[in-house]
Structure 1
């Protein structure tokens, strides 16, 4: 696990422009939130609440930005945008990762404008101010300037952590300290898949016309999974249910799931892989859930038969039939680590009613497209599932914008949605208070 030293960017500019009365109104909405029910409409539609979210959640907590597979070589970079923030995530020449605010120190122009690429020095396209990989200003030619101190105008940094090949960033002056505790818990689950020895097979970027919280709520339950026919071939539709809540028509599926769970536990114990569910979604600052769970059919991957989608095992794994290692991290990410590939998901807020969902498929770095895997088959299930989820989120956003909307109760199987909202409300009340 690596980190960089932060020189914090200015905070408080978003809510700082609001009146005390308006901030009190927003805090009152949080205080009156009804447990077990969805949020009031303004949480999904109001621009001031969105601004507060960007400060209190995305400006203070650890956010998943990408993986080492997306920046495999020195000079490789991705840019990550959410709310008012734009970041450069750069693989430096020393093998580490630098995370820099993508804001030129001259007039504030974007320094790098592509979503990914390779660079040596970074040159702002406006007036050619030039920065090295550490963000230091190395060139700023201007006629007549003699007392200009370039050392005072480096790009601002953000905190970063790399855990099991996943890159996390934080804009906070002092990020939540319990992230390191959580990282020690989930790293043994993910480590055997060795992201550092994978490559990007495909990346999908979807703009969903919905608030970021609706995107996360939708992801945190399977009550709607009847709407995912491709996913239902391999993901047990009883996910999130208990023996008491399984409907009659899924009784056979429930029994098949129990048998698959028993088989998976045996395999995990044989290979020394952790598999127990660890769930602290709203009981700590860095909310999370991780487990290793069986898949239906052949139990290997997200295919119609559950059969592997790539012939290459990841890392030092010795068996394809390992189900999925599934992880949820507050506030913006979820992951599936399988024996043959990895899928990372990240939600980046764009506006009160828009969210970018970025999905990245990773395969072994020596896997050859067309030989070891078929790209269409590899991506089919989750491409379709993401499009279906996009439709569901947009239905909810339109509903939240209606005068007829009022919060409705979460079902028992939606307890993780309730946990996500509890986490969100706790964090925002702390921030606004």
Structure 2
């Protein structure tokens, strides 16, 4: 007997089938709670999701919790200093184990009936359960977890995409020199955007809007790195940017810092893109004066002008690695019209606040940019809900990465909902 296909699944398939390449998505992709449920099942439930950085759990027993959809995930550093991930659910009667976003424990103790687990998820104590109870069958449910150069990814699927290994092999040489494991978290800011998570990601994947909306961010970005129509008016600026990038790539590569673009955003299950790009003016960091935010450089760097290594992953993150600090962004859906954007700034673990850096200076550019982007995506959500909305065309010169995000999303949803 064939399983009954719901009307919503049929509608989702129809919307996916008629998606017009080079155009934004139809309104239900941003508005429908049913499609958000499908996103949670097929995108956030079956792919590698970026959730944290290792400096958030520096010591054995340190933990964080990550919530998205109906899922709560507990990420902990065990006694062997390995990163573990579990569903944040007691195996007794389902109580949430850890309510705080972060903390430190010796063992994991359920607050309800004190079932106690070690940091490997093994059930240690469960009182009054009788002689026939086998504690070995009631350990915490593990979640697949991988650290890529200190960036923590999880996958809820029973069989996660195997091509994470390809990304790790290609990206480790880029990320490893920055030694994220030797960093500490200097600041973390959560904001809630009143929009669909896909609008947040689409906004990130282009800088068509940057000159008009991000005066703090564009101080450090070469204008012609945003993407421009290659006409006579822009030819000189575009060529200068290419020349500056090529010269810096040669210099950085000679220092053992891979810099060339890798782009697999829409042709792999675990899609990603990376490139090290020059920073304008002083050329050191994404700050208001483009000089380093922390005088204590990362790793053993001595040259502060190492550009910005950008790393984008599907479906929910982007990162910038510089000589003095690292900033990471995680996007997690709350509902069809609400999205959590979590920004984390890391500096060298020996950097001293108030001496080597100030949090205000470190975070100024991206706090301003995040606030501006929040306004933009919330206006987009309002506009998409208007009955006059219809998918509009992407610029082939400035919105190519938006198209790749949508291609990836539509392709994965088609594959997983057929």
Q: Does TM, scored on the shorter chain, surpass 0.5?
A: yes
Q: Which residue of 2 aligns with 1:130?
A: 116
Q: Which residue of 1 aligns with 2:356?
A: 372
Alpha carbons of structure 1 residues 230 and 93: separation in structure 2 relative to 1, 3 Å? same
Q: Is the 8 A contact 2:276 2:309 kept in 1?
A: yes
Deviations 1:176-201 (A, max 9, x none): 11110111111101100001100000
Please, which of 44, 48, 53 is the counterpart of residue 30 of structure 2? 44
Shift of 1:375: 1.2
2:243 pairs with 1:229: no
Alpha carbons of structure 1 residues 161 and 364: separation in structure 2 relative to 1, 3 Å? same
After superposition, residues 385-400 of structure 1 pair within 5 angstroms as: 385-400=369-384
Shift of 1:206: 0.6
Q: Which residue of 1 aligns with 2:273?
A: 289
Q: Which residue of 2 aligns with 1:7?
A: none
2:122 pairs with 1:148: no
Q: Is the 8 A contact 2:288 2:364 kept in 1?
A: no
Q: Is the 8 A contact 1:235 1:296 kept in 2?
A: yes
Deviations 1:271-322 (A, max 9, x none): 0211111111101111110010001111100122211111111113331101
Q: If the length of structure 2 is used for normalisation, what is the TM-score?
A: 0.95
Q: For residues 318 and 291 of structure 1, what CA distance do their matches in structure 2 show?
A: 21
2:7 pairs with 1:21: yes
Please, which of 62, 81, 85 is the counterpart of residue 76 of structure 1? 62
Q: For residues 378 and 251 of structure 1, what CA distance do their matches in structure 2 show?
A: 34
Shift of 1:252: 7.0
Q: Which residue of 2 aligns with 1:34?
A: 20
Q: Is the 8 A contact 2:330 2:343 kept in 1?
A: yes
2:171 pairs with 1:186: yes
Please, which of 89, 100, 115 is the counterpart of residue 101 of structure 2? 115
Q: For residues 413 and 70 of structure 2, what CA distance do their matches in structure 1 show?
A: 18
Shift of 1:236: 2.1
After superposition, residues 62-73 of structure 1 pair within 5 angstroms as: 62-73=48-59
- Structure 1 gaps of 5+ residues are 1-15
2:45 pairs with 1:53: no
Q: Is the 8 A contact 1:236 1:253 kept in 2?
A: no
2:154 pairs with 1:169: yes
Deviations 1:359-385 (A, max 9, x none): 000000110011111210111000100
2:282 pairs with 1:298: yes
Q: Is the 8 A contact 2:86 2:143 kept in 1?
A: yes
After superposition, residues 316-327 of structure 1 pair within 5 angstroms as: 316-327=300-311
Shift of 1:146: 4.0
2:258 pairs with 1:274: yes
Which secondary structure state, in structure 1, belongs to the residue aligned with residue 320 of structure 2?
Answer: strand
Deviations 1:239-273 (A, max 9, x none): 34156169x4x777546534532441232133021
Q: If the length of structure 1 is used for normalisation, what is the TM-score?
A: 0.92
Is 259-268 or 334-343 further displaced after alignment? 259-268
2:312 pairs with 1:328: yes
Q: Which residue of 2 aligns with 1:311?
A: 295
Q: Is the 8 A contact 1:240 1:414 kept in 2?
A: no
Q: Which residue of 1 aligns with 2:180?
A: 195
Q: How many residues align?
A: 414
Q: For residues 298 and 428 of structure 1, what CA distance do their matches in structure 2 show?
A: 44
Q: Is the 8 A contact 2:216 2:369 kept in 1?
A: yes
Q: For residues 100 and 291 of structure 2, what CA distance do their matches in structure 1 show?
A: 36
Which secondary structure state, in structure 1, belongs to the residue aligned with residue 11 of structure 2?
Answer: helix
Shift of 1:237: 3.1
Q: Which residue of 2 aligns with 1:238?
A: 224
Q: Is the 8 A contact 2:264 2:272 kept in 1?
A: yes
Deviations 1:153-196 (A, max 9, x none): 11101111111111111011111111101111111011000011
2:101 pairs with 1:101: no
Which secondary structure state, in structure 2, belongs to the residue aligned with residue 38 of structure 1?
Answer: coil
Q: Which residue of 2 aligns with 1:406?
A: 390
Deviations 1:38-78 (A, max 9, x none): 10111011111111111111110001111111111111111
Please, which of 410, 414, 417 is the counterpart of residue 429 of structure 1? 414
Q: Is the 8 A contact 1:98 1:160 kept in 2?
A: yes
Q: Which residue of 1 aligns with 2:200?
A: 215
Which secondary structure state, in structure 1, belongs to the residue aligned with residue 279 of structure 2?
Answer: coil
Shift of 1:150: 2.2
Which secondary structure state, in structure 1, belongs to the residue aligned with residue 41 of structure 2?
Answer: helix
